[in-house]
Chains A and B, each alone.
Chain A
Amino acid sequence: MKHLLSTQDLSRKDALDILDTAEEMAQVGQREVKKLPALRGRTVVNLFFEDSTRTRISFEAAAKRLSADVINFSAKGSSVSKGESLKDTAQTLAAIGADAVVIRHWASGAPQRLANTDWIDARILNAGDGTHEHPTQALLDAFTMRRHWAKLAGTGSAGTDLSGMRVAIAGDVLHSRVARSNVWLLRTLGATVTLVAPPTLLPVGVDAWPCEVSYDLDATLEQGVDAMMMLRVQKERMNASFFPSAREYSRRWGFDDARLEALDRHGLKDTIIMHPGPMNRGLEISSAAADSARSTILDQVSNGVSVRMAALYLLLTGGRDDETSTSHAATEGIPA
């Protein structure tokens, strides 16, 4: 792995490596000294063309726990907002010696542009690009689901996948980078995914995705769901006729109190409720659901740091490209 741009190009092994490493990183978060020296002397730039305090501080905490130097570069109030191009920005970051660039951009594909061009030779981590992907969000979701799934199975998480898990993702799939990253990753990890949305908020071409599609949240719940993920719905979509009104949306596709009760009625006592945040309480999720014992919303946030530590660690260690040493560097008497 040179870059983390999309979950579509993550193999099962890559994904499990990240999740297993994140388990070890999570241990560090429990200790008094929450810091590891692994990335000492390395520079990680958080390049944010779009406001996202949550994602930025999560990456910042992750990089700092690994002892990297962190530079936050926000497009607001910088030369970027004065018309500097992505190319110039990238070359500037290259000149100051960035080893990794964590990029959040409103344009789909911007991280891939950085990775594919010769503007900068750094590891690129996609922290959300337009309506394309948000791979670390999907990884932290999968991490959260895996802990839950392993606990139900009575095993440890390390090395396990999501085989047999039924995941429903409901909301604005059309504009959701979280949904896309989750569909590919959860499928790779063996879960079955059902997307639930009004037809206007599903992309043309969704039928080619490795998942089921439903317009009916109640029917999906009735069929049985182990993890229910609600996506944020922007109220502006209402003005663009994607749905008639917020009230109609939340009645048909919101996770309200009645649907929370329906989980019990269907005997789904272990089903968890997830949300990538920030939430619109009362629109796509009710407060009772968000605050219930089933909710993993805060776990997702804290798991985010562990998963991002794992991603940074795995991308920034391991030498230059393909410089794998001939003898496998195990412990046997090879200078460590």
Chain B
Amino acid sequence: MTQNHLITSASLLGGAPQDILIAEGVVVALGADAAAHPAAADATVLDATGLVALPGLVDVHTHLREPGREDAETVETGTRAAALGGYTAVHAMANSSPVADTAGVVEQVHSLGQAAGWVDVRPVGAVTIGLAGERLAELGAMAESRAQVRMFSDDGICVHDPVLMRRALEYVKAFDGVIAQHAQEPRLTEGAQMNEGDVSAVLGLAGWPAVAEESIIARDVLLAQHVDSRLHVCHVSTAGSVEIIRWAKQRGIKVTAEVTPHHLLLTDELVRSYDPVYKVNPPLRTQEDVLALRQALAEGVIDVIGTDHAPHPSEHKECEWAQAAMGMTGLETALSVIQHTMVETGLMGWADVARVMSEAPAGIGRLEDQGRPIAVGEPANIVLVDPAARWKVDGAAMATKGRNTPFQGMELPGRVTATFFHGHPTVLDGALNTPRHGAGA
């Protein structure tokens, strides 16, 4: 018997205030019925006046680093960060050490997630053995494992061999899988350090041209069409990529696309500082790209937000730009950045936020009890956000081990005040509460 919770006067997806009653991990009553429900009698009451209630967020793109790089992050610390950011599920990318390219590794990550109890951890399987881009990993075994893998990706490395990519797309049809592609033509980006353009010309840093991303996306959507399979494009970063994906969707190709919070806010102008906290793959692009990405997300050409949360130990960032690791943390800032770039600009409402940060990501990963509406009988994965709050980003105060937030010192809107994970409050009053241990764990 778990504690029941009565959330009062929460604005559902930004709409009129309602009460929400949670019992046994499920939403049992809404609105006027909630307080009158028998389960409300011994419920803990949480006053949510002024707060927005969203379905628990689902990240399609998280690097938890375990196994292998526990100095950067562990499943425990990464999922604590996720819960604080309002997430109830994350997809753990395969580029751990060893690589998540066997049923054994994905099951290990999956159980670590269950043991931690902060969010659902859904491992992503590698497409190729050791991310080497040569031979398919045992995709079927990973799909059938206890981890139930549906998303496969060599993220960090592009599956650049067109035949291998074709085979992968075809093969995962057998178990309704999806290939999540890190679109980066390797020859065009040898030694690349930042977006190729006006800023790279001045800084003398080797350029990562937009065409290196766009040419792979163009090829892959045509392959997906040819074999009629599901393609997911990771971290779209250029205006040109948006146009290709728009075209593909118009032709009915089964492609979904993701954008990171940092690509919706930051540009390559920041690289002028040579501070590697701004070094990321794909690189920060131009203002024109940022605006095109926001528009594409609002229009649904881009389906989801993926954080590409990539924690690194500080020694990998406290060095020369060229020596530094690529990546930024993102779980604890994602929702605030989306509110800042999409909601406060009038491009999206809270229902749209729920779509791109919860429903659609759960759909791509085929997570059945995540990304559901907040309705009677649905699993109680709910996040409460105070949209009026303002906070100053401080990497040192975060739950992630990574200190590499590119938003350090910025004032952002929106604060996660509570996260309910299958009815259990993992976050209360904006701070970590307790992990969920029990059924299914």
- A residues contacting B by CB (< 8 A) are 8, 85-87, 105-110, 112-113, 116-117, 129-133, 177, 180, 203-206, 208-209
Chain A residues lying within 8 Å of B397, measured Cβ to Cβ, are none
Q: Bound state CA distance, A204 and B201, in angstroms?
A: 6
Chain A residues lying within 8 Å of B206, measured Cβ to Cβ, are 131
Query: Using a Cβ–Cβ cut-off of 8 Å, how many residues does chain B contribute to the interface with A?
Result: 24
Chain B residues lying within 8 Å of A131, measured Cβ to Cβ, are 204-206
> Is B76 among interface residues, defined by CB-CB distance under 8 A?
no
> Is B140 among interface residues, defined by CB-CB distance under 8 A?
no
- B273 near A116: Cβ-Cβ < 8 Å: yes
Binary A-proximity of B302-326 (CB < 8 A = 1, otherwise 0): 0000000000000100111111000
Q: Bound state CA distance, A208 and B199, in angstroms?
A: 10
Q: Bound state CA distance, A180 and B196, in angstroms?
A: 16
Q: Bound state CA distance, A133 and B272, in angstroms?
A: 13
Residue of B nearest to A131 (CB): B204
20 of the cross-chain contacts (CB-CB < 8 Å) are: A85-B315, A85-B318, A86-B323, A87-B318, A87-B319, A105-B320, A106-B322, A107-B320, A116-B275, A129-B204, A131-B204, A131-B205, A131-B206, A133-B204, A204-B201, A204-B207, A205-B200, A205-B201, A206-B201, A209-B201
Checking A130, A133, A204, A209 against B197 with a beta-carbon cut-off of 8 angstroms, the contacting residue is A204
Chain A residues lying within 8 Å of B323, measured Cβ to Cβ, are 86, 107
- B200 near A204: Cβ-Cβ < 8 Å: yes
- B205 near A108: Cβ-Cβ < 8 Å: yes
- B274 near A112: Cβ-Cβ < 8 Å: yes
Within the complex, the shortest CB–CB distance from A335 to chain B, in Å, comes to: 42
Q: Bound state CA distance, A331 and B319, in angstroms?
A: 46
Chain A residues lying within 8 Å of B199, measured Cβ to Cβ, are 205
Chain A residues lying within 8 Å of B200, measured Cβ to Cβ, are 203-205
- B201 near A113: Cβ-Cβ < 8 Å: no
Chain B residues lying within 8 Å of A180, measured Cβ to Cβ, are 202, 204
Count of CB-CB pairs between chains A and B under 8 Å: 78
Within the complex, the shortest CB–CB distance from B314 to chain A, in Å, comes to: 10
Chain B residues lying within 8 Å of A204, measured Cβ to Cβ, are 196-197, 200-201, 207, 209
- B319 near A205: Cβ-Cβ < 8 Å: no
Checking B203, B207, B319 against A132 with a beta-carbon cut-off of 8 angstroms, the contacting residue is B203
> Is B161 among interface residues, defined by CB-CB distance under 8 A?
no
Residue of B203, B319, B323 contacting most chain A CB atoms (<10 Å): B203
Chain B residues lying within 8 Å of A107, measured Cβ to Cβ, are 320-323
> Is B42 among interface residues, defined by CB-CB distance under 8 A?
no
- B322 near A108: Cβ-Cβ < 8 Å: yes
> Is B198 among interface residues, defined by CB-CB distance under 8 A?
yes
Q: Bound state CA distance, A8 and B318, in angstroms?
A: 25
- Which B202-243 residues have a C-beta within 8 angstroms of A? 202-207, 209
- A108 near B274: Cβ-Cβ < 8 Å: yes
Chain A residues lying within 8 Å of B202, measured Cβ to Cβ, are 8, 180, 205, 209
Chain B residues lying within 8 Å of A106, measured Cβ to Cβ, are 322
Within the complex, the shortest CB–CB distance from B194 to chain A, in Å, comes to: 10
- A113 near B321: Cβ-Cβ < 8 Å: yes
- A113 near B209: Cβ-Cβ < 8 Å: no
- B320 near A205: Cβ-Cβ < 8 Å: no
- B residues contacting A by CB (< 8 A) are 193, 196-207, 209, 273-275, 315, 318-323
Within the complex, the shortest CB–CB distance from B200 to chain A, in Å, comes to: 6
A85 with B196, Cβ < 8 A, contacts A108-B203, A116-B273, A203-B201 known: no
Which 5 residue pairs spanning A and B have beta carbons closest together? A109-B274, A205-B201, A132-B204, A131-B204, A203-B201
Q: Bound state CA distance, A129 and B274, in angstroms?
A: 12
Chain B residues lying within 8 Å of A209, measured Cβ to Cβ, are 201-202
Residue of B nearest to A5 (CB): B274
Within the complex, the shortest CB–CB distance from A75 to chain B, in Å, comes to: 12
Chain B residues lying within 8 Å of A8, measured Cβ to Cβ, are 202
Q: Bound state CA distance, A170 and B399, in angstroms?
A: 53
Q: Bound state CA distance, A108 and B272, in angstroms?
A: 11
- A109 near B320: Cβ-Cβ < 8 Å: yes
Q: Bound state CA distance, A85 and B201, in angstroms?
A: 27
Q: Bound state CA distance, A180 and B201, in angstroms?
A: 9
- A177 near B204: Cβ-Cβ < 8 Å: yes
- A205 near B318: Cβ-Cβ < 8 Å: no
A130 with B204, Cβ < 8 A, contacts A85-B318, A105-B320, A112-B274 known: yes
Chain A residues lying within 8 Å of B319, measured Cβ to Cβ, are 85-87, 113
Within the complex, the shortest CB–CB distance from A232 to chain B, in Å, comes to: 15
Within the complex, the shortest CB–CB distance from A137 to chain B, in Å, comes to: 14
Checking A113, A116, A206 against B320 with a beta-carbon cut-off of 8 angstroms, the contacting residue is A113
Q: A105-B320, A204-B209 are in contact. List 6 more A-B contacts (CB 8 A).
A: A108-B205, A108-B322, A110-B320, A116-B274, A204-B197, A209-B202
Q: Bound state CA distance, A204 and B199, in angstroms?
A: 10
Chain B residues lying within 8 Å of A133, measured Cβ to Cβ, are 204
Q: Bound state CA distance, A247 and B322, in angstroms?
A: 33
Q: Bound state CA distance, A171 and B148, in angstroms?
A: 57
A208 with B198, Cβ < 8 A, contacts A109-B320, A109-B321, A131-B204 known: yes
Residue of A86, A106, A112, A116 contacting most chain B CB atoms (<10 Å): A112
Checking A85, A87, A113, A208 against B274 with a beta-carbon cut-off of 8 angstroms, the contacting residue is A113
Q: Bound state CA distance, A109 and B203, in angstroms?
A: 8
Q: Bound state CA distance, A209 and B198, in angstroms?
A: 9
Within the complex, the shortest CB–CB distance from A240 to chain B, in Å, comes to: 9
Checking A105, A110, A205 against B198 with a beta-carbon cut-off of 8 angstroms, the contacting residue is A205
Chain A residues lying within 8 Å of B318, measured Cβ to Cβ, are 85, 87, 117
- B321 near A108: Cβ-Cβ < 8 Å: yes
Residue of A nearest to B318 (CB): A87
Within the complex, the shortest CB–CB distance from B268 to chain A, in Å, comes to: 11
Residue of B197, B206, B275, B320 contacting most chain A CB atoms (<10 Å): B320
Q: Bound state CA distance, A209 and B203, in angstroms?
A: 12
Residue of B nearest to A112 (CB): B274
Residue of A nearest to B207 (CB): A204
Within the complex, the shortest CB–CB distance from B130 to chain A, in Å, comes to: 25
Q: Bound state CA distance, A109 and B200, in angstroms?
A: 12
Chain A residues lying within 8 Å of B320, measured Cβ to Cβ, are 86, 105, 107, 109-110, 113
